[in-house]
Chains A and B, each alone.
Chain A
Amino acid sequence: MENVYQMAGYTLHLIPTNKFKTMTISLRLQSPLLKETTTIRTLLTFVLMAATQDYPSTKALAAYLDENYGASLSTHIHTKGQSHIINVTTSFVNDAYLPSPEHLLEKQLQLISDLFYRPCLENDGFQQSIVQLKKKELQEKLQANKDDKFSYSLDKLFEYMGRDQILGIPGTGYEEEIQKITSQQLYQYLQKCIEEDEKHVYVVGDIPENFVNIFERILKFPSHCHDYPSAYIFKSPRQDLLEVIEKQDITQSKLNLGYQIQCDFTSPSHYAFTVFNAIFGGFSQSRLFKVVREKHSLCYYVSSSYDAFNGMMIVNAGIEAKDYHKTLSLIENQLTDIQAGHLNEEEIHLAKMMLENALKKTNDEAGSMIALAYNRDITHIHETSEEYIEKLKNVTLEEIVEVAKKVKLDTIYFLTGKEFHESH
């Protein structure tokens, strides 16, 4: 159902469907995740979105998008294991639902091209006032993220667990480096992205006949092919468990656990691990939810997530400070229970059904369709959703126990209130 075309400097993936009233275009730029470039790359996603020569301010650009029937335009930055991805996305109403044809596809595609080739410049760099404004915006966004204790404690887990490794590099940059970046450096970095980033473009919607020609005409990048690594298996240089307890003036404590798992997106055991995670803590039917929340009433949320690109697993829960050790041991017990092979076929069947249902649902949302396709494209895994479901279904009890045995707690990060005492 997906058609792929090799274009000038990018791969175009067309996913035709007429079930949506909008069309979504997503351009993804991939480059290695590096300590040296994480901040400049993040700042670039902010500056890129600020203005173009035709629409030289936030105000003018926003007004243009309003005119295009509220077309969205956004940039996001995220990591995929060892890769650092910039995502430029636009979505706009299909002409069929508008009073008159607006040619929004051409207009929005041209706008994306202009973000890269016709930004507002001065003195061989981005316009100084824009860069200043966006530096402030990024700085404040990072601060606000820190104030959200859930995401702060998760970031801290990655920081401690991944010290001096890829996992420890924050995908949204370092706050203290923002001000050092000059407009000229930023513009040079854009040129580097245009030259060296590996690019994929995804389109979901009601795709007209002459579609590829429109792309050929409007969107071009230099033709280089790069194969950057993404998924990897996290390995810790430490042998011992690292336990970090931080105190702040807060009501609810946040427990975050990081595990080594010896498996990633490209491993043969990926399918078995996916099923393991669904049994262990991936859903509200999973063991952690049933035991820690339903049986012991210790929390409102508790779950495990399999990070298939960093080859590791996270468990997090919001609990009372006094329940720290109790919660830890309940989580540990569930893991050792599965490792000991205490599993039944019904539980496995249920987990597989939940995974299948979750996967099928991605077909009803353009963004998730693209995310799924992209994961496969950057890891070169040629697999349809049907094949993937088939592989999940074939996972056996023994294979689940096998992957569970490789799970090892690596780091505990506990954010708690000022009154917490070690002796609990």
Chain B
Amino acid sequence: MKAIKYPTLKETLYFEEMPNGLKVYLLPKAGFSKTYGLFSTRFGSIDTTFVPLHEEKMLKVPDGIAHFLEHKMFEMQDGDASEAFAKLGASTNAFTSSSRTAYLFSTTSHEKECISLLLDFVQDIYLTDENVEKEKGIINQEIGMYDDDPDWRCYFGSIQNLYQNHPVKIDIAGTVETVASINKATLEKCYHTFYHPSNMMLFVVGNIDAHETMNLIRENQQQKHFSLENPIQRAIVDEPLDVDQKEAILHMDVTMPKMIVSMKINDILTKPQERLKRELAMNLLLDIFFAKSSTLYDEWLNEELINDSFSAQFIQERDYCFLQIGGDTLYPERLKEKIFYFIEHIQEYDIHQNDFLRLKKKTMGILISLFNSPESIANMFSRYYFEGIMIFDLIDCLDSLTIEDLISLRKLFDLQYTSSYTILPQNE
């Protein structure tokens, strides 16, 4: 077991790779009552075409299958994992993102039993045709819940606008039709391919002793057998440079219009450190132009084009990258024109040293405060881990950014790859 010290944050991280390939990270936190365990696999909603374990040909699986599998993992031969956690006084949950699936528990007692249970229920699968069928009604209601949510429709619609082929344009839960086509055999193929220990990472944070915990995990893994796995082959997405749609409008039973401008970035970086640097620099750049302390925010607020819901964000995942700018607005068309103008003329907008330094301070403070909560540490850790980055490096990377790093990002802005998605009330 390796101990890595981070003096600025006053934290020590412990690491070990198990013989079967599972990576384990432990972060003891003195004074906390809670322990939080997160077991993640690099398998998300965009992994829909791949070579299954011990097979040779690419297979296209139904959209929404990673999420469906997440729902079914809780079923065990001898009962339900949520109930088993409850009997330990713990609670459990799971989530699926575009690039990973994560299972978690949170407890204030029986930490060791909880860690074993988390490993055991995720490292075993129990499916029957009946329990697969039964889940479909529940998932359809989950999909229906998002259908009526205007914020979600606008957010997701603005992503769908950008991509012609990339599976990020498909809802994480899939559609009612794709969910209907999911069966036991395909779920099992996904499970055996992506839930191999070498594709997974366990992170435990909270009220734990690192040595005892690592021993426990080591023993747990020694008892299990996994067949050897070659590196997983995922299909490479052939995504054209152009956006799918420049503009879309959806009418819903709502009163407040919403509008998001999204911009596709086709220049995808591959080196983790470069990606991290771009992410932090881009977020600073967006803050400089669109945070509450920015000139544009102030102008647009006074022109009544935006309100508190306005935001700008940068998303960079495995093989795609984009920006989203927008929010609730009474004047979607005018706001859209303003944002388009900004994107087209970004070279003419200066970046001032004092804004840069001020927002760097702000980001620093926010990064430090994320280390307050075991949940936020675990979720951040898992997200960055699969990107090849240790979260503790974020602060140093931020520190080393220069204003030139931000200036050079302006070339990524291109009106040609920009689109808009608008939600309007039904009578407009």
Using CB atoms, name the residue of chain A closest to B255: A143
Q: Indicate with 1 or 0, residue by residue over B330-368, a CB within 8 angstroms of chain A CB atoms.
A: 100000000000000000000000000011011111101
A146 touching B255 by the CB < 8 A rule?
yes
Partner of B253, one of A62, A249, A299, A363: A249
Q: A91 within 8 Å of B by Cβ?
A: yes
Residues of B within 8 Å of A59, CB to CB, are: 292-295, 297-298
B149 touching A70 by the CB < 8 A rule?
no
B150 touching A147 by the CB < 8 A rule?
yes
Q: Which of B27-35, B184-192, B231-239 contacts its partner?
A: B27-35
Cβ distance A420 to chain B, nearest Cβ, rounded Å: 14
A19 touching B30 by the CB < 8 A rule?
yes
Given contacts A22-B372, A59-B293, A297-B135, contact A353 B89 (CB under 8 A): yes
Using CB atoms, name the residue of chain A closest to B364: A69
**Alpha-carbon separation in the docked complex, A390 to B304 (Å):** 54
Q: Indicate with 1 or 0, residue by residue over A353-386, a CB within 8 angstroms of chain B CB atoms.
A: 1101110110111100000000000000000000
Cβ distance B105 to chain A, nearest Cβ, rounded Å: 11
B254 touching A297 by the CB < 8 A rule?
no
Cβ distance A143 to chain B, nearest Cβ, rounded Å: 4
**Alpha-carbon separation in the docked complex, A363 to B89 (Å):** 16
Q: B252 within 8 Å of A by Cβ?
A: yes
Contacting residues of chain B (190-229) with chain A, CB-CB under 8 angstroms: none
Q: Indicate with 1 or 0, residue by residue over A17-61, a CB within 8 angstroms of chain B CB atoms.
A: 111111000000000000000000000000000000000011110
Cβ distance A315 to chain B, nearest Cβ, rounded Å: 16
Using CB atoms, name the residue of chain B closest to A20: B372
Partner of A353, one of B86, B292, B304, B328: B86
Residues of B within 8 Å of A363, CB to CB, are: 33-34
Given contacts A69-B362, A97-B9, A148-B149, contact A62 B292 (CB under 8 A): yes
Cβ distance A61 to chain B, nearest Cβ, rounded Å: 8
Q: A140 within 8 Å of B by Cβ?
A: yes
B362 touching A285 by the CB < 8 A rule?
no
Q: Indicate with 1 or 0, residue by residue over A330-364, a CB within 8 angstroms of chain B CB atoms.
A: 00000000000000000000100110111011011
Residues of B within 8 Å of A364, CB to CB, are: 32-34, 373-374
Q: Indicate with 1 or 0, residue by residue over B113-132, a CB within 8 angstroms of chain A CB atoms.
A: 00000000000000000000
A144 touching B82 by the CB < 8 A rule?
no
**Alpha-carbon separation in the docked complex, A285 to B86 (Å):** 7
Q: Indicate with 1 or 0, residue by residue over A283-298, a CB within 8 angstroms of chain B CB atoms.
A: 1110000000110011
B253 touching A137 by the CB < 8 A rule?
no
**Alpha-carbon separation in the docked complex, A318 to B141 (Å):** 7
B365 touching A69 by the CB < 8 A rule?
yes
Residues of B within 8 Å of A250, CB to CB, are: 148, 253
Cβ distance B205 to chain A, nearest Cβ, rounded Å: 11
Partner of A354, one of B89, B135, B148: B89
Residues of B within 8 Å of A188, CB to CB, are: none
Residues of B within 8 Å of A297, CB to CB, are: 134-138
Partner of A70, one of B9, B29, B108, B363: B363
Determine the interface band of chain A, counting residues with CB < 8 A from chain B: 35 or more
**Alpha-carbon separation in the docked complex, A318 to B138 (Å):** 10
Residues of B within 8 Å of A299, CB to CB, are: 138, 141
Partner of A140, one of B256, B362, B363: B256
**Alpha-carbon separation in the docked complex, A366 to B31 (Å):** 13
Residues of B within 8 Å of A219, CB to CB, are: none
A92 touching B136 by the CB < 8 A rule?
no
Q: A65 within 8 Å of B by Cβ?
A: yes
Q: A252 within 8 Å of B by Cβ?
A: yes
Task: Tell me the B residues contacting A by CB distance below 8 Å.
Answer: 8-10, 29-34, 80, 82-83, 86-87, 89-91, 106-109, 134-139, 141-142, 144-145, 147-151, 252-256, 291-295, 297-298, 301-302, 304, 307-309, 328, 330, 358-359, 361-366, 368-369, 371-374, 426
Known contacts A146-B254, A149-B148, A353-B89, then 15 further A-B pairs from the complex at CB < 8 Å, ordered by chain A residue: A18-B31, A21-B371, A65-B293, A66-B361, A69-B368, A137-B308, A144-B328, A149-B149, A249-B253, A284-B82, A294-B138, A297-B136, A300-B142, A360-B34, A363-B33
Task: Tell me the A residues contacting B by CB distance below 8 Å.
Answer: 17-22, 57-60, 62-63, 65-71, 91-93, 97, 133, 136-137, 140-141, 143-144, 146-150, 248-252, 283-285, 293-294, 297-301, 318-320, 350, 353-354, 356-358, 360-361, 363-366
Q: List 27 A-B contacts (CB under 8 A).
A: A19-B29, A20-B372, A58-B301, A59-B294, A62-B291, A63-B358, A65-B293, A65-B362, A68-B365, A91-B369, A92-B365, A93-B368, A137-B308, A140-B330, A147-B254, A148-B149, A250-B253, A284-B82, A299-B138, A300-B141, A320-B144, A353-B86, A360-B33, A360-B34, A361-B106, A363-B34, A364-B374
